[in-house]
Structures are given as C-alpha cells and as structure tokens.
Amino acid sequence: MHYGRAVLADTGATTAAGRATVTQADLRHPDQVLAGAEVSGLLDFTRPVAVLLIGVLHFVAEDDDPAAILAGYRAALAPDSILVLAQSSSDYPEHPELAAAVRAANDRYTDTSTPGQLRSRAELAVLSQRSWHRASGSGTGSHITCTCLAQVGTGQA
C-alpha cells in the first residue's frame, strides 16, 4: 500500500482527476471494495469497466466461495463490463517441469494466512463461466466472457 501510494504521488495521480488510485480492502467482499471512497470516486459503475483480478484469485480458498465473490463483482457492474483473471495452476501434464515449479512456488504459501489455491484449467473455466456469464435476453445486458487459458512460460495458449 505504501509503495503504491508513493508511486501515485510521484506521478501526481492520487485523485480521481489523476485517473488512478490505490485502495486497501479484502477482495472477498466486493461490496466493500467497490463502495470504498477511492474506488467509487474514480469509477462510474453505470458504464462498462474492467475488473482485473491479476495474481490474487489463487489466494482465495474454496471455502471463501470464489464463484460467489466473482458474482458479487459482476452484480455491481454495468453490462458489457469485462473480467480478467490470472490464476496459478499446475495443470501442465505436457510440461512436468513447469508444473513442478508452479507447485513449489505455491508451497511457499502453505504456512501463511493466505495459502495458495491451485486450480485446474477445467476449474478455472467453470469458475469464470459460472461467476461472470449472464444469460442473453435477461433484460439486464450482458457481460463479456472470454476464457483463454495460457500456459505461461511455454509460449503456448
């Protein structure tokens, strides 16, 4: 938090007029994250926005119901908003060395307050579809859902 605020201060982007902000909140509580003064003062939730959950979803345990968390963000956003997820996975049967490296990196978080939660490609696809897809014709607009599972470090998508 301190570093993020310092970076913004150096660039003069500490207010909504500066088009960037840093907020501290628990991503497992979308209503609190989105209602924070810094967030609601910067984003217009009546217009489409992008929610970027980069490098954080693997710290959300299954017991915390990640699908419900993602659905909470979706419910607060305007139609045509976009969700981007980047999640750790060791689901690389064709690259066993990469899978082992990902598991080893994840194991470093085992004894922390936020242990890592690796998910398979199939789990991520289901999670993103279940949480974000809004059926067309519902009268409430739509959200873009594009599931692309990329193998980082292999040069393949």
**94-133 pLDDT, tens digit each:** 888 988 998 898 899 888 888 888 888 888 877 877 555 4
Task: Provide the CB-side half-sphere exposure for 78 (13 A, CA).
Answer: 9
Give alpha helix (H) positions in 41-95. 66-76
Provide mean pLDDT across the span 3-18: 53
Q: Which residue has the tokens 């959300």?
A: 60
H or E, element range at 81? none
Q: Over the stretch 71-94, which tens digit does the pLDDT of each residue have?
A: 888 888 888 888 788 888 888 888
Q: Is the pLDDT reported for residue 14 higher than 90?
A: no
pLDDT for 99: 87
Q: What are phi and psi of 13, to 5 degrees?
A: -110, 40
- With a threshold of 0.75, does the pTM exceed it? no
- Contact partners, residue 117, CB within 8 Å, separation at least 6: 58, 59, 60, 61, 62
Q: Over the stretch 125-153, which tens digit does the pLDDT of each residue have?
A: 778 775 554 443 344 445 444 555 555 55
pLDDT for 29: 95
Provide mean pLDDT across the span 47-58: 87
| Contact present, 72 and 30 (Cβ < 8 Å) | yes
Share of the chain above pLDDT 90, in %: 12
Of the listed ranges 3-12, 63-72, 76-85, the least confidently predicted one is 3-12
